[in-house]
């Protein structure tokens, strides 16, 4: 799988030939505002919750790429009123798409839309097919519910976890989350974008190393293969 980090919580994952874009936030990202989203070629956009730093470019990219949205019922409903096509999920539910299975799992956070409308309850995604499986946690604190993922989904190849603290778990709790989900390869996100979430990256990597976990922190625009 080719994973490209676009800053904050925005990732494009080439999932065995299908491009999945997660939480697109270019407009308003002080670290990555000049990116031309026309170069993206996403088939699906997966959105964890309604906050502006996760949805600011959903409408434009969906329309330019002809991409469909996957999110919770309220987020999908809000974007459908703007002409975006979507597939609604809710917590604990999974659905088999043409590229694989997606399960919407719990996140401990809030979820309002940029205009203040109800954004449902926030979540994360576990995505898999016969060969690969990964977890995109969205914005969340550490929660025991994460232990349900290895009980109900295939073995994770990697997981994308927030590590920036303040609005989500910090890296110390995220290292515990890596144990809960029984995953050794973690890509960190949701850090350094704003003042509240600036971190010491070497300390974060060390916190994971103490638990024999590998924390990968790609630079913005960098692609890695897992
Ligand atoms: Ni949020
Ligand atoms: Mn956020």
Residues 2-41 pLDDT 10s: 999 999 999 999 999 999 999 999 999 999 868 888 889 9
What are the structure tokens assigned to 83, written together? 């002409």
Residues 86-111 pLDDT 10s: 999 999 999 999 999 999 999 999 99
Ligand index nearest the alpha carbon of residue 23: 2
State pTM to two decimals. Answer: 0.98
Q: By three-state DSSP, how is residue 5 classified?
A: strand
| Per-residue b or e along 74-105, where b marks 16 or more CB atoms closer than 10 Å to that residue's CB | bbbbbbeeeebebebbebeebeebebbbbbbb
- Stated as kind and residue range, the H or E segment containing 224 is strand 223-225
CA 110 / ligand 1 centre spacing (Å):
6
User: Cβ–Cβ contacts within 10 Å for residue 223, how many?
Assistant: 11
pLDDT in the model for residue 34? 80
CA 130 / ligand 1 centre spacing (Å):
31
One of 3.60.15.10, 3.40.50.300, 3.40.190.10, 1.20.1050.10 is the CATH number of 2-225, namely 3.60.15.10
CA 48 / ligand 2 centre spacing (Å):
9
For tokens 């809000």, the residue is: 78
- Per domain, the residue ranges of the chain are 2-225
CA 199 / ligand 2 centre spacing (Å):
15
């Amino acid at each position: 799988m080719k994973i490209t980090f676009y800053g904050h919580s925005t990732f494009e994952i080439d999932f065995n030939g299908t491009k999945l874009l997660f939480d697109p936030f270019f407009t308003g990202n002080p670290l990555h505002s000049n990116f031309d989203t026309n170069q993206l070629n996403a088939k699906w956009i997966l959105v964890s919750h309604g906050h502006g730093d996760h949805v600011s470019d959903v409408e434009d990219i969906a329309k330019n790429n002809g991409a469909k949205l996957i999110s919770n019922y309220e987020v999908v409903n809000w974007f459908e009123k703007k002409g975006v096509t979507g597939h609604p999920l809710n917590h604990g539910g999974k659905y088999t798409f043409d590229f694989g299975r997606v399960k919407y799992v719990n996140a401990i956070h809030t979820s309002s839309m940029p205009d203040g409308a109800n954004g449902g309850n926030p979540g994360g995604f576990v995505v898999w097919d016969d060969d690969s499986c990964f977890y995109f946690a969205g914005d969340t604190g550490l929660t025991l519910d994460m232990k349900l993922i290895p009980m109900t989904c295939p073995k994770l190849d990697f997981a994308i976890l927030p590590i920036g603290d303040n609005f989500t778990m910090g890296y110390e709790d995220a290292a515990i989350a890596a144990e809960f989900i029984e995953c050794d390869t973690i890509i960190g996100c949701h850090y350094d974008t704003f003042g509240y979430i600036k971190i010491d990256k070497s300390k974060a990597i060390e916190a994971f190393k103490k638990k024999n976990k590998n924390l990968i922190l790609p630079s913005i625009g960098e692609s890695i293969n897992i």
